[in-house]
Amino acid sequence: AQSVTQPDIHITVSEGASLELRCNYSYGATPYLFWYVQSPGQGLQLLLKYFSGDTLVQGIKGFEAEFKRSQSSFNLRKPSVHWSDAAEYFCAVGLSSNTGKLIFGQGTTLQVKP
Amino acid sequence: KAGVTQTPRYLIKTRGQQVTLSCSPISGHRSVSWYQQTPGQGLQFLFEYFSETQRNKGNFPGRFSGRQFSNSRSEMNVSTLELGDSALYLCASSFEGLREQYFGPGTRLTVT
């Protein structure tokens, strides 16, 4: 069955430090990959997506992610974290571009130290 | 452009009751998907509607149902509520399928 794993439940980084959130997926074909962010009491905001093409994708708020087929990974990165980045981050996989069904990872909570 | 709206934002119901949640997609969007978010199970796909037809369904009991109207607005209904149905229910809309899928703020359902 298709699945998404975010190995880190909770990560704490200092403001200004770099960030990498890990995401691994299990799927036979090339999936459609997404990163979403959720602030407390809010819905999900799309940070970036990968459908095809360049494996390094740029998103909003200075985030980027790299698709590595050999490692079945789609890790999210940011060179310098801001206090406002504190939130929960979800990696998701879509199995077909024709449906809205997404399979989500369990999420990673990011805490930013001043 | 207005975003995805969900009503009500908060709801408290008693076990055994039923509830209807509403989702208004972004204007022009034809696909609406529903998700349940709980601390234990995370985000789980409920179902997707496209042009008034259910296109995909997750692994939830028949107590969970939905529909979509001709203006693309969608409702989901949960009958015979159980304590475990307490969750944040999110809907997402897109013009078609996965592309540029936008989420609403959710409806927080508490079952007592």
Tell me which chain B residues have a C-beta less than 8 angstroms from the C-beta of A102: 33, 35, 43, 45, 98, 101
Predicted local confidence at residue A5, as pLDDT: 97
Handedness of CA B110, B73, A32, A19 (dihedral sign): negative
Identify the pLDDT of residue B98. 66
On whether any CB of chain A is under 8 Å from the CB of B55, the answer is yes
- Assess B100–A contact: CB distance below 8 Å, yes or no: yes
**Residue in B with minimal Cα distance to A92:** B43
- Give the mutation candidate from B50, B59, B98, B107 for the A interface (greatest A CB count, under 10 A): B98
> B2 CB near a chain A CB, below 8 Å?
no
Closest CA to B51 of B24, B23, B29, B21: B29
How many CB atoms are located within 10 Å of the residue A29 CB? 7
Q: Are A89 and A23 in contact (CB under 8 A)?
A: no
Q: Judged by CB atoms within 8 Å, which residues 90-109 of A form the interface with B?
A: 90, 92, 94, 96-107
Suggest the residue from B4, B32, B43, B57 to mutate for an interface test with chain A (most A CBs closer than 10 A): B43
Query: pLDDT tens digits for A5-39?
Result: 999 999 999 999 999 999 999 987 778 999 999 99
Note the residue count of chain A. Answer: 114
- 3-state DSSP: chain B helix, strand, coil percent, rounded to 5? 5, 55, 45
Q: Is the pLDDT of residue B99 over 70?
A: no
The band of B2, judged by pLDDT with boundaries at 50, 70 and 90, is confident
Compute φ and ψ for B83, nearest 5 degrees.
-55, -35
Contact B40/A at CB under 8 A: no
Q: Which of A79, A88, A92 is nearest to A24 (CA)?
A: A92
**A46-74 confidence digits (pLDDT tens):** 999 998 889 999 999 999 999 999 999 99
What is the pLDDT averaged over residues B74-94? 97
